[in-house]
Structure 1
Amino acid sequence: MVTLLLTEQLTVLFLMMGCGFVLVKTKIVKSRDSKTLSLISVYLIMPCVIINAFQIDYSKEIQDGFLLALFAAVILHLLLFLICGILGKFLNLTSVEKASLIYSNAGNLIIPLVTSVLGSEWVIYSSGFMCVQTLLLWTHAQSIMQGKTEFNWKKILQNVNLIAIVVGIILFFFHIKLPVILSDTINSLASLIGPVSMIMLGMLLTEVDWKALFTSRRIYLMTALKMLVLPLIMVGCMRLLAHHCSLANASTILLISLLATITPSATTITQMAQIYDNHPDYASAINVFTTVVCIVTMPIMVLLYTL
């Protein structure tokens, strides 16, 4: 049932992506206008989504579930670091390839997927993964993409989504409910995450050199690793953890962590590649190809997990 719902929701998101693609191709908007949507999504909608996720009644069960999601996120990332470190030696992975394999597009996809497939009450558990990945994106990922070992701690601490997670956690653990007007505003803005994110991605797809994309053998290797090999390992890991965890709803919570891991490569990596002039075309190609195939691979992985 979950697999079918996921497939349906992915199809809906891809249709939204198609709308963005058509808007650019019909010259109603320009592809560069997607940057505006990206900024709105990152600095307004996503923080609202995160804070809204924590605006639920406190319970020991939810607290333990959130801590489980955090633990699962740490385990998953450690596994990804280990596996990609080994693969890097055998396949001579570039910094773009390593970052694309490790980091997923959970920020844009996981929350609308969880909301649609499982319900808004489960979004809080996706914040556990996002908290860990956000911290790593602006430390490890930024470091390897710019070829330096220095961390911009100021930028990390000022990251709006990390701030939103901290605010959400404080509100949740101290049982603070926002005023109705503010809560309704945040909830309404949060509901825009799916359409805005996918329209933005659709607009970006108009700039892709599809011929070059489909003729690159390395792209197929990276896509197979990102969307098949690594997810299969993550499925086994989450099944094992769910089997040994006695926490209520552990299986569903770990499914959310799995969904966050098996999404396409992170668009943030493409943005970093542009900023640091580190093969942005190649980073974009990996992002596009993994996005195209996820409509098939993600439901398969969920099916394997739920068997």
Structure 2
Amino acid sequence: MSIAVIAESIIILFLLMGVGYLCRRTGVIGPDGARGLSSFVVNVSLPALILMAMQVPLTAELVANAGGILFGIAVFYGVSFAIAFTIPRFIAESDLEQGVMRFMLVFSNLGFMGIPVAGAVFGPEAIFYVSIFNLTFSILLFSVGVLMLRPDMGRYLDPKLFLNTGLIASVAGLVLFALQVHIPSPFADVFTLLGTTTTPLAMVVVGALLATMPIEGIFTDKKIWVITILRLCVIPLAVFLILRPFVEGPFLLGIPVLLAAMPVAANAVMLAEEYHVDATIASKGVFLTTILSLITLPLITLLIT
């Protein structure tokens, strides 16, 4: 059952990329269309998704497992950051390319793929734990993630770099979560509807960008293969080996490992476009890691179950 859900999630992503590819090739999406869609995702739909993802209850189970969850998050991102700030410096051709590679190694597809796959592997209770990981993901994405993509701007500590709707939504969502304040309808409904457009639009943009590059270049790019192996194999295995002696149970051990094994987040392409860095390498990374995760995710699932 879980492998079927994994396959279905990946097939959906590829079909959405195919829509974007065809739209760009046929002129439905013009040269500036992909950038406009990217800007909408980064500034509107993704912040809405983040805000609603943080609307989760603070339960007794969460309090009891708080230490294990925090430890899992620390290991998850500790391993990711350690690898991201080591390997890319040896294979990247520029600081900006190095930043995109670091982003791809730290931020995996926790949202669209993480939630259904974790639910299929561990049951519906797992979705709550994935949501907690998404809290950290959302805050890091629009703070440290932006600095990764634009290290040149970070050197001057420009505060405008952090004045973005994504970080504002993350902070607001965290405050609402801590205070256990729930957004009332119809505002919650509007945010939810906007958030649901994030994944399809993101994958359409990836497909549109892929339409502008030779497909064979994706499979012959050695740098992308290095990132893919690290993202899909090395990082999740390292998280597993570090966590295994200290925690047990499907949630505290299995969920961090499974989420670490997800392909590159499509947000890499959106933010690369938004902050005017090379989105080509990000598109290659999303494409290759997503297709190969059809092989690696079932293997990781067997390891943790």
TM-score interval for Structure 1 and Structure 2 normalised by the shorter chain: 0.7 to 0.9
Aligned counterpart, 1:114: 114
When the two structures are superposed, what TM-score results if normalisation uses the length of structure 2?
Answer: 0.78
1:56-135, aligned counterparts within 5 Å?
Answer: 56-62=56-62, 71-87=71-87, 91=90, 93-94=92-93, 95=95, 98-104=98-104, 109-117=109-117, 118=119, 121=128, 124-125=131-132, 126-135=134-143
* Runs of 5+ consecutive residues of structure 2 not aligned to the other structure: none
1:270-281, aligned counterparts within 5 Å?
Answer: 272=272, 281=280
1:15-73: CA deviation from partner (whole Å, max 9, x where unpaired): 11111112222333225312222112111111111111222333243466677655544
Aligned counterpart, 1:254: 256
2:198 to 193, 203, 209: 193
Please give the secondary structure, in 1, of the residue aligned with 2:155: coil
CA gap 1:68/1:223 in 2 versus in 1, 3 angstroms: same
Q: CA deviation at 1:138?
A: 2.6
Aligned counterpart, 1:226: 231
**Does the 8 Å CA contact 1:24/1:206 hold for their aligned counterparts?**
yes
**Does the 8 Å CA contact 1:77/1:102 hold for their aligned counterparts?**
no
Q: Distance in 2 between matches of 1:45 and 1:270?
A: 11
1:190-220: CA deviation from partner (whole Å, max 9, x where unpaired): 2222212111211111012223333344443
Aligned counterpart, 2:161: 155
Q: CA deviation at 1:180?
A: 1.5
* Runs of 5+ consecutive residues of structure 1 not aligned to the other structure: none
Q: CA deviation at 1:260?
A: 5.2
Aligned counterpart, 1:295: 294
**Does the 8 Å CA contact 1:270/1:284 hold for their aligned counterparts?**
no
**Does the 8 Å CA contact 1:106/1:261 hold for their aligned counterparts?**
no
CA gap 1:297/1:284 in 2 versus in 1, 3 angstroms: same
- Partner AA of 2:189 in structure 1: D
Q: Distance in 1 between matches of 2:283 and 2:13?
A: 19
Q: CA deviation at 1:99?
A: 3.4
1:148-187, aligned counterparts within 5 Å?
Answer: 149-156=155-162, 158-187=163-192
1:136 to 141, 144, 152: 144
Q: Aligned-pair RMSD on alpha carbons? A: 3.6
**Does the 8 Å CA contact 2:114/2:262 hold for their aligned counterparts?**
no
When the two structures are superposed, what TM-score results if normalisation uses the length of structure 1?
Answer: 0.77
- Partner AA of 1:254 in structure 2: P
Aligned counterpart, 2:16: 16
Moved more, 268-277 or 115-124: 268-277
Aligned counterpart, 2:44: 44
Percent sequence identity is 22
Aligned counterpart, 1:53: 53
Q: Distance in 1 between matches of 2:148 and 2:104?
A: 14
Q: Distance in 2 between matches of 1:249 and 1:82?
A: 24
CA gap 1:30/1:170 in 2 versus in 1, 3 angstroms: same
1:67-95: CA deviation from partner (whole Å, max 9, x where unpaired): 76555444333323433555467x45544
Q: Distance in 2 between matches of 1:291 and 1:31?
A: 25
Please give the secondary structure, in 2, of the residue aligned with 1:56: coil
**Does the 8 Å CA contact 1:41/1:193 hold for their aligned counterparts?**
yes
Please give the secondary structure, in 2, of the residue aligned with 1:104: helix
1:206 to 207, 211, 219: 211
Please give the secondary structure, in 2, of the residue aligned with 1:208: coil
Please give the secondary structure, in 1, of the residue aligned with 2:47: helix
Q: Distance in 1 between matches of 2:157 and 2:146?
A: 8
Moved more, 124-133 or 160-169: 124-133
CA gap 1:48/1:66 in 2 versus in 1, 3 angstroms: farther
Q: CA deviation at 1:289?
A: 3.2
Q: CA deviation at 1:148?
A: 6.7
